[in-house]
Structure 1
Amino acid sequence: MKITVIGAGAIGGSLAAKLSTAGHDVQVAHARGPETIPAQVLESGARAAELADAVQDRDVIILAIPFGVAGQLAGLFASVPAETVVIDTANYYPGMLSEPIEAVDNGQVESVYTAEQLGRPVVKAWNAALAGTQQTRGVAAGTPGRLALPVAGDTEQARRVAMQLVDDTGFDPYDAGTLADSWRQQPNSPAYCTELTLDELPAALAAADRAKDARVRDSLPERLAALGANPTVDDVVEMNRAAHR
């Protein structure tokens, strides 16, 4: 597939490298220009591109950008064909990683908000795994204990495309239903960054509680501070699991 990743940070860079290694035609774009794309992101064959060029003639566009800024790209996406699948990877951490957003604080689902700001449908994927998990724990399909990631979207075709790409990055994809249901994979639900298998993930999604999960999310600074300096991926995963025991 012809794929563009917008954003070259820990998530975007990892996805670009993995999808390029899997054989896809991958472009990487950044609002600050192609010269700002780190060299290591391009080592697997992905190409740096100007943002305006990178959204044209693509099958999939992956947004690996901070939550709340998608609306700044609405004009750019106005000319993107409706059949192009747009995947949102962002998460909302008010007061930590983004400014508070009233609509989301009042109950609007994260990626539903993003879709409205962008002016087109999106699929929610790759948001429910730590960057370190995505970078180091993807394995081949059929490997015992392979971790699973939820994928939510409003059309079967778009979910199917996103699920194929999740598989290509080393994780079992799980059909998590419509975008309106994607609150079940938002921070800090039982399915969020807890490294579950395909057998374990459905129950975790079902156990989500919006009010409780928001409180767990908002307690993140204190819980991270309790881990001390330089916590490992395993430390953070265990912290997330413990919050729901």
Structure 2
Amino acid sequence: MKIGILGTGNIGKTLVRELSEAGHEVKVANSRGPETIERELLSSGARAVTTAEALADVEVVILSIPLNRIPDVAAQVVALPEDTVVIDTSNYYPFRDDRIEAIESGQVESLWVAEQLGRPIAKAWNAIGSASLAKKGKPAGTAGRIAIPIAADRARDREVTMALVNDTGVDAFDAGTLADSWRQQPGAPVYCTDLTFKEVGPALQSAERYRLAKRRDLSVAIIQERLGDGTTNPDEDWGVRLVRAINM
């Protein structure tokens, strides 16, 4: 497929590599310009382009940018053809994104994103740590393969997103609609806990919405105390142990 990826953070970089290696035609852009994108990231065939070029003539757009920067690209994304699949990977973290009153008042993060963009989206790759996505991917059918939830309202969005997730070395679990995607937000039992396909369903069902923000903020506080700033991602083992202890 023809895919445009916005963002070259830890998740974005892995998606560029994995989807390129899977044979997709990938263009990648960041906010600083194509000349700042590492050449190594393009070794599997992806092309560094501007944001406008990344959104042009593609079937799928993946937004791998902080949630508070979603409004910055809204005007360009809303102009995409209706059948373009837009996948958002973001999560709300108040210490980074500033306080968003609608989400604080209970709006589901994915619905807030769709509202900002003015179009349907799918939600994927938000519930796996960047280190796990980069290091723990396995071929389909491998025992113990990690599974992650995806949410979407449109059938095409769901079908395409699930196929692409599987191309990145993890199983895709259909978690339902965007309205239900609070079950995969930070603080939920499925969030960054590296579960298998059989484990994801029960974890989604066990989520308790009123506990999510408290658990999310507790994880951040511990990471800040241990790693210094809260923006450094924990490794794939320590981070999983931490969130399993807090979220499950």
TM-score norm. by structure 1 comes to 0.96
**Distance across 1 between alignment mates of 2:15 and 2:227:** 29
Describe how 1:19-168 pairs up with structure 2 within 5 A.
Answer: 19-95=19-95, 97-168=96-167
**Distance across 1 between alignment mates of 2:103 and 2:198:** 30
Contact 2:187 2:247 in 1 (8 A): no
Contact 1:68 1:114 in 2 (8 A): no
**Distance across 2 between alignment mates of 1:189 and 1:135:** 21
* Larger displacement relative to structure 2 (53-62 or 68-77): 68-77
Gaps of 5+ in 2: none
1:224 is matched with 223
1:190 is matched with 189
**Distance across 2 between alignment mates of 1:187 and 1:59:** 29
**Distance across 2 between alignment mates of 1:232 and 1:57:** 36
SS at match of 1:183: helix
How much has 1:131 moved relative to structure 2? 0.4
1:176 is matched with 175
1:238 to 238, 241, 248: 241
Query: Does the C-alpha gap of structure 1 residues 70 and 228 become closer, same or farther in structure 2, counting only changes over 3 Å?
Result: closer
* Larger displacement relative to structure 2 (52-61 or 191-200): 52-61
**Distance across 2 between alignment mates of 1:53 and 1:60:** 13
**Distance across 1 between alignment mates of 2:191 and 2:2:** 28
How much has 1:211 moved relative to structure 2? 1.4
How much has 1:226 moved relative to structure 2? 5.7
Specify the code of the residue in structure 1 equivalent to 2:221: E
Name the structure where helix makes up a greater proportion of residues. Answer: 2
TM-score norm. by structure 2 comes to 0.95
Gaps of 5+ in 1: none
Contact 1:188 1:216 in 2 (8 A): yes
SS at match of 2:152: coil
SS at match of 2:243: helix
Specify the code of the residue in structure 2 equivalent to 1:244: N
Please report the RMSD computed on the Cα atoms of aligned residues, expressed in angstroms.
1.4
SS at match of 2:28: strand
* Larger displacement relative to structure 2 (33-42 or 217-226): 217-226
SS at match of 1:243: helix
SS at match of 2:87: strand
SS at match of 1:173: strand
* Larger displacement relative to structure 2 (179-188 or 74-83): 74-83
Length, aligned pairs only = 244
SS at match of 1:15: helix
Identity percentage of aligned residues: 49
